[in-house]
Chains A and B, each alone.
Chain A
Amino acid sequence: MSDYSVSAHEAFGPPVSVKKRGTFLESLHAWVVTVDHKRLGILYILYSTFFLLVAGAEALLMRLQLAYPHNQLLSPQVYNRFFTMHGTTMVFLVGMPFLFGFGNYIVPLQIGARDMAFPRLNAFSFWLTAFGGLLLYYSFLGGGGLYGVGNAPDVGWFAYAPLTARSFSPGHATDYWALALIVSGFGTLGTAVNIIATIVSMRCKGMTLMRMPLFTWLFLVVSMLTLVTITPLTAAQFMLLIDRYLGGHFFDTQAGGSSLVWIHFFWIFGHPEVYVLVMPAFAIANEVIPVFCRKAIFGYPAMVAASVGIMFVSLGVWAHHMFTVGMTSVSNAFFTLSTMLVGVPTGIKIFNWIATLWGGRIRFTTPMLFCIGFLFQFLIAGLTGIMLSVSPWDWQLHNSYFVIAHFHYVLVGAVVFCIFAALYFWYPKATGKLMDETLGKWHFWLFTIGFHITFDTMHFLGLLGMPRSIYTYQPDRGWNFLNLIVSIGGVIQGIAVLIFAFNFVRSYFRGKIAGDDPWDAWTLEWTTSSPPPAYNFEQTPEVHSRRPLWDLKHPDDPDWEYEA
């Protein structure tokens, strides 16, 4: 029963150093068959970095198309395919794999475990996710040829019925969409199960639930949320495939079916999905902010309670995506109020982060800069979210660029900023090298400036009435100049990401040696060497407080004396 009775040597074989170079084929083989949570975490992160560049390129092409009216760069069909693939890729192949990659890498280290609960399931989940991505992009090779962008899905990432019915979506584009997401969804489900089992039953001695680092806490919450949000999407996609292949009638209005049911089922997944993406971002901020302002996080129990609160509330707000489909005014009122309720636990979190910063000795390193950017942008994203939750206001702005601006504020301004913070923060742990700070600051400032140019301006375009999902527009609507600005902002972000990619690769070969604990941090992952050995810890650690490394560094004034 206890996994620690087995010695590391027996369980994992003789320790293999990552540095030792065999032939190329040998090391490739070692990576493909690996069941080590750290290697799988790195694979997840590389995989999603690759798709970040791909989906970013799609976004840039769309912005070039919209830079001025009546542009002929992309045909309407190709534009549809790009916005579908951009959304689908960013949510399923970038956001979730990135975050679950960090979870995979960090969680076992933070709880003092030697690996995940089910290492082989872990590898299986990764390869399922990878195969899902491959399947989705394989669709580019079919149908209308590469210039017509093959047979890629073109129904929007929400794939509203009846647009996905056989008659409106002939060919196999929609099937690729559903099958790819079902496959990668199973992978995600496996990872969520694995993370829950790891956190619940693999914690080292003394790590009670209320001593777990907040990062780990949030991954427990996110994994539980994932279990109940990914499966409805899978269910709905099965129904879609039954409709398309077996002649079913779930979403077929000609036979009594209802397209509204698809919208409900999609957003029962789609809304909590936002929290599945953003709560790991909170998790990252919870680690980075205290370390770089030299204070323990303010209000630990409140942070835990708020996370669990967000999980429950987020499951009851999905229909705020549907104010305009003609629900009753009672449901509109209910979903308005429940959506506003999310602001309460989120507000608690923001106040606690600010209270942590208050009076701290702040070090403005690159990860900290990204987290501070996150705080500001997430606040604004929350405020525009409250605006959109007011159903009459939403009637005005539905499907306009205001909505696009709002959710990109969440998904880029919060999630991507925190992903960058995490990459800079844990890069030295995974590689033993520090990323270059100067290039990092260039990356931060360019990306932040580009971000604000793009998405701040989009709010105004939305208020001026520009709808989403259009491939071009008339020159007399007053949108020309603003669209050009938005496109320029997009290009600046693209350049910033290229700087990041350069830094990421270069630091691996030329970076400064980091040492075990470059940031003077407090959680368990920094006690082991960088990169950690295959079995993580020479000796299974034992903790007595929320900041075990502080206790080690300050035996005269340990934390456990003050914690209740």
Chain B
Amino acid sequence: MSSIPLRVPEDALKWRLPYKSRVGMAALIVGESALFTIFVVAYIFYLGRSLTGPKPSDVLEVPVLGTICLLSSSLTIWRAERAIENDRRRSFTVWLATTVVLAVCFLVGTALEWHKLIYRDGLTISTNLFGTTFYSLVGLHATHVIVGLFLLSAVLLFSLFGWIDQRQSDRFSVVALYWHFVDAVWVVVFTVVYLIGR
């Protein structure tokens, strides 16, 4: 150290940080996962502990159609993401509209299922432990689908007005991330409630 260096270190690194909304959504998803974990654990723990009927195997039917709708909506929203990234607006609107329709189909499926459970089988949230855990877990997921549906419909509306183009693709990817999460949670809920639980 005979001479005092007067240079500044060369930070040749390109300073590029992740998109803040995507980081925020990822963080929110971590939190939401913890929320769902607690409800899923409660569901599994209380399986078969109801003192009175009906049992899951008596009343539950596997919602194949709804599941297909929801899982394929992950695919369509992915197509929409690719479309808006390349500024293909027409194709974006079509794929987004398909996603919304599929989400509505899923929710209609849930509504029909609940209608049957309540009015034909007499299973409500207070009937027994199974009712309590079933409606809270599936209801929690359905709530998230509804929130996602609001987001998607808003984007669809904007895109019908022609307000969405390539510049919004980053923001749309945040909505899509949420939607993929809702789908992934359904895989867990479906497995626990309709496959293991029956």
Interface residues of A (CB under 8 A from B): 1, 117-118, 189, 192-194, 196-198, 200-203, 205-206, 208, 223-224, 227-232, 234-236, 238-239, 242-243, 246-250, 255-258, 261, 265, 268, 542, 544, 555-556, 560-561
Residue from the list A194, A268, A544, A561 in contact with B24, Cβ < 8 A:
A194
Distance of A5 Cα from B114 Cα, bound (Å): 52
Interface residues of B (CB under 8 A from A): 4-6, 8-9, 11, 13, 15, 17-21, 23-24, 27-28, 30-35, 37-39, 42, 45-46, 49-52, 125-126, 128-129, 132-133, 136, 170
CB contacts (< 8 Å) of A258 on chain B: these are 45-46, 49
Q: Report if A238-B17 is in contact (Cβ < 8 Å); known contacts: A224-B30, A249-B128.
A: no
Most chain A CB within a 10 A radius of its CB, from B6, B19, B27: B27
* Closest partner residue, chain B, to A117 (CB atom): B20
CB contacts (< 8 Å) of A238 on chain B: these are 136
Smallest CB separation, B23 vs chain A (Å): 4
Q: Report if A247-B126 is in contact (Cβ < 8 Å); known contacts: A1-B19, A227-B31, A256-B51.
A: yes
Distance of A208 Cα from B15 Cα, bound (Å): 9
- Whether A196 lies near B23 (C-beta < 8 A) is yes
Residue from the list A197, A200, A250 in contact with B133, Cβ < 8 A:
A250
Smallest CB separation, B9 vs chain A (Å): 5
CB contacts (< 8 Å) of B42 on chain A: these are 239, 250, 261, 265
CB contacts (< 8 Å) of B27 on chain A: these are 192-193, 196-197, 223-224, 227
- Whether B11 lies near A200 (C-beta < 8 A) is no
- Whether B17 lies near A203 (C-beta < 8 A) is yes
Distance of A206 Cα from B129 Cα, bound (Å): 56
Distance of A205 Cα from B126 Cα, bound (Å): 57
CB contacts (< 8 Å) of B39 on chain A: these are 235
Smallest CB separation, B128 vs chain A (Å): 6
CB contacts (< 8 Å) of B46 on chain A: these are 250, 256-258
- Whether B18 lies near A200 (C-beta < 8 A) is yes
- Whether B126 lies near A248 (C-beta < 8 A) is yes
- Whether A256 lies near B49 (C-beta < 8 A) is yes
- Whether A227 lies near B34 (C-beta < 8 A) is yes
Distance of A242 Cα from B51 Cα, bound (Å): 19
Residue from the list A189, A229, A257, A544 in contact with B9, Cβ < 8 A:
A544
- Whether A236 lies near B126 (C-beta < 8 A) is no
CB contacts (< 8 Å) of A224 on chain B: these are 27, 30
- Whether A257 lies near B24 (C-beta < 8 A) is no
Q: List 6 additional contacts besides A197-B21, A256-B51; criterion CB under 8 Å.
A: A118-B24, A205-B11, A224-B30, A231-B38, A248-B125, A265-B38
Smallest CB separation, B106 vs chain A (Å): 22
Distance of A518 Cα from B19 Cα, bound (Å): 36
- Whether B31 lies near A193 (C-beta < 8 A) is yes
A-B contact pairs, 10 of them (CB 8 A): A197-B21, A198-B20, A202-B20, A203-B17, A206-B11, A227-B34, A229-B34, A231-B34, A247-B126, A255-B50
- Whether A242 lies near B9 (C-beta < 8 A) is no
Residue from the list B23, B34, B125 in contact with A247, Cβ < 8 A:
B125
* Closest partner residue, chain A, to B167 (CB atom): A1
- Whether B31 lies near A231 (C-beta < 8 A) is yes
Smallest CB separation, A275 vs chain B (Å): 15
Distance of A192 Cα from B29 Cα, bound (Å): 12
